[in-house]
Amino acid sequence: MSAREAGLPEVVASGELPSEVTIWEVGARDGLQNESNVVPVGVKLEFLDRMASSGLSVLEATSFVHPKWVPQLADAAELLAGLEQRPGVSYPVLVPNERGLDRALEAGVTHIAIFASATETFASRNLNRTLDSQFEMFEPVVSRARAEGLDVRGYVSMCFGDPWEGAVPREQVVAVGRRLLDMGCSQLSLGDTIGVATPGQVEALLDAFGDVSSLAVHFHDTYGQALSNTLAALRRGVTTVDSSAGGLGGCPYAESATGNLATEDLVWMLDGLGVKHGVDLDQLVATSAWMAEQLGRPSPSRVVRALT
Amino acid sequence: MSAREAGLPEVVASGELPSEVTIWEVGARDGLQNESNVVPVGVKLEFLDRMASSGLSVLEATSFVHPKWVPQLADAAELLAGLEQRPGVSYPVLVPNERGLDRALEAGVTHIAIFASATETFASRNLNRTLDSQFEMFEPVVSRARAEGLDVRGYVSMCFGDPWEGAVPREQVVAVGRRLLDMGCSQLSLGDTIGVATPGQVEALLDAFGDVSSLAVHFHDTYGQALSNTLAALRRGVTTVDSSAGGLGGCPYAESATGNLATEDLVWMLDGLGVKHGVDLDQLVATSAWMAEQLGRPSPSRVVRALT
């Protein structure tokens, strides 16, 4: 069934939303990185190409994190070598440190992302750093990348709650974000890594930053809150939203466990609100349905399930 | 894992929301009615009792629709005879016509709901009536019920889209709703029966009604939009929200297909926003997990999945 046959939403605006949103598609990186069965590089390339063909203009392609930590993305160099980049499409890659940057530069990457923590505990567990010393690791990465003419995005994880620390002080998130911007990041992606946030938190954090022009949002749907939180962020003027085709990114051990906000569910809402995004929903649904077949389990996206 | 251990959201208000919301729990009726395997009446009674124990104060208990159409609810009289009503809890039942009202009155029901259509095609298919002549069927039901001192809710289905007609004119929905109110309904439940709506539509329909004090909203999560639409309705001042424990109500033939907005996902958002509702989330999650076991398939509620 096509989205139109299903009754693709009547377009009714809802005051004070951006007229256009950039969808930062993370399916190929954040979506796949937790998959235990390694996806062949050819499948990943087809996935990226089909997503580009559906109209997505930013495709986070892979990560140069050490293969020991993320075996799924050990093929980053091979993937980028085989990637036929489409004009008008950006293919950023995640880079954890200087060694990762070296590999990214060798691969001809022009847009990178770094991954910072908003909390002490996650900095320690994920980066083996203190909250403060993580910046020593990022500084040479960002300065060298900028010197080479690369664009740098800064992920800030655990912005709305931390499994060990609970609530995260907003001023701490803002301080981490500002240091990344001061360092040379052109955009921050504020992540609700464990999916606990609700709309009031989102508004309060965006208000604490003040200027939202360099801010993107990255919600996980663990508790079903991702789309409502996105709506709250759009109302505050955010124009870049991270999402994952088919909602990829859940825990691979739980059937249909949920991870990132599904791009299709986001697109459905944006279509209904008349917010432009450039994506052909039916093509993307077909792509995610195909990818779900490759992975051998159903997509957690509501839209993908309803239309396939 | 309890909701608190999971990082139950930090409470941050989001301006201009109601301070308190009544959750109209439809799991036992709308949630179960499409289940092909008949659930034993004892299980239904335990389900209702556990939901009441979790703090839900309105439990739509069953329907007096003809058993030929909804075999799952053929035990309506037996269920009501066995129901130990808790003080402070309301147990409305759906009544399609005068025969249903007779049966409801025999069973001692004090709160009924009728089920109207906002579109010509659904009136024809679901009620075997025209849009206009459905009121001839409802009029004696409502007037007799009111004369007997019963409270009457009017469901208005297909308010935001109809699978045969597409977009539904808002003035048509308002006209249907106003006739039900004029007839003596104390509340309307505006239903997105096929789950296609987006927030702008919700706001526009509520604005078309003007006064929202007699309005409830009833969203299905087919395209993942139910919670965002609910948030939009809350921002317009709606204080009664329909939802279904565990998200019951999907198509029983598709594993984890989605139906009604899951009560748990709603409660998570309301907790985060500091909107009172009276429900103990952990108790409700345990109830829905137990019910999912009875039905032999996982709950589509994100919160239930994450916490169990």
In this prediction, residue A8 carries a pLDDT of 82
Domain hosting residue B195, numbered range: 22-307
CB distance B83 to B28 below 8 Å: no
Helices (H), chain B: 41-53, 76-82, 98-106, 120-122, 134-147, 170-183, 199-209, 226-235, 263-273, 281-295, 302-307
Which of A161, A256, A265 faces B7 most closely, judged by CB atoms?
Answer: A161
**Residue B133 lies inside a defined structural domain of this protein:** yes
**Residue B147 lies inside a defined structural domain of this protein:** yes
Which of A10, A167, A223 faces B303 most closely, judged by CB atoms?
Answer: A223
Mutant choice from A16, A219, A223, A225 vs B, greatest count of B C-beta within 10 A: A223
Q: What average pLDDT does the structure give for chain B?
A: 94
In this prediction, residue B257 carries a pLDDT of 53
Per-residue pLDDT of A246-288, as tens digits, reads 999 965 455 545 689 999 999 999 999 999 999 999 999 999 9
**Residue B5 lies inside a defined structural domain of this protein:** no
Nearest-angstrom CA–CA distance, B54 and B290:
13
In this prediction, residue B39 carries a pLDDT of 97
B254 touches chain A (CB under 8 A): yes
Verify whether residue B159 is a known catalytic residue: no
Q: Do B200 and A274 touch (CB under 8 A)?
A: yes
DSSP percent split of chain B into helix, strand, coil, nearest 5: 40, 15, 45
Helices (H), A107-169: 120-122, 134-147
CB–CB contacts below 8 A, A to B: 167
**Residue B292 lies inside a defined structural domain of this protein:** yes
B203 touches chain A (CB under 8 A): yes
> Nearest residue on chain B to A264, judged by CA atoms?
B223
Chain B residues closer than 8 Å to A6 by CB = 194, 196, 223
CB distance B159 to B118 below 8 Å: yes
* Structure tokens given for B174: 């308002």
Residues (pLDDT < 70) of chain A are: 250-258
**Residue B7 lies inside a defined structural domain of this protein:** no
CB distance B170 to B204 below 8 Å: yes
Structurally, how many domains does chain A consist of?
1
In this prediction, residue B259 carries a pLDDT of 87
Pairing of strands A93-94, A111-117: parallel
**Residue B262 lies inside a defined structural domain of this protein:** yes
Which of B12, B160, B225 faces A268 most closely, judged by CB atoms?
Answer: B225
Chain A residues closer than 8 Å to B262 by CB = 224
**Residue A122 lies inside a defined structural domain of this protein:** yes
Which of A6, A222, A305 faces B306 most closely, judged by CB atoms?
Answer: A222
**Residue A100 lies inside a defined structural domain of this protein:** yes
Q: Do A196 and B9 touch (CB under 8 A)?
A: yes
Tell me the CATH number at A119: 3.20.20.70
B105 touches chain A (CB under 8 A): no
CB distance B222 to B254 below 8 Å: no
- Residue-by-residue pLDDT tens, chain B, 308 positions: 888 888 888 899 988 899 999 999 999 999 999 888 999 999 999 999 999 999 999 999 999 999 998 999 999 999 999 999 999 999 999 999 999 999 999 999 999 999 999 999 999 998 899 999 999 999 999 999 999 999 999 999 999 999 899 999 999 999 999 999 999 999 999 999 999 999 999 999 999 999 999 999 999 999 999 999 999 999 999 999 999 999 999 655 555 456 899 999 999 999 999 999 999 999 999 999 999 999 998 898 999 999 99
> Nearest residue on chain A to B167, judged by CA atoms?
A10
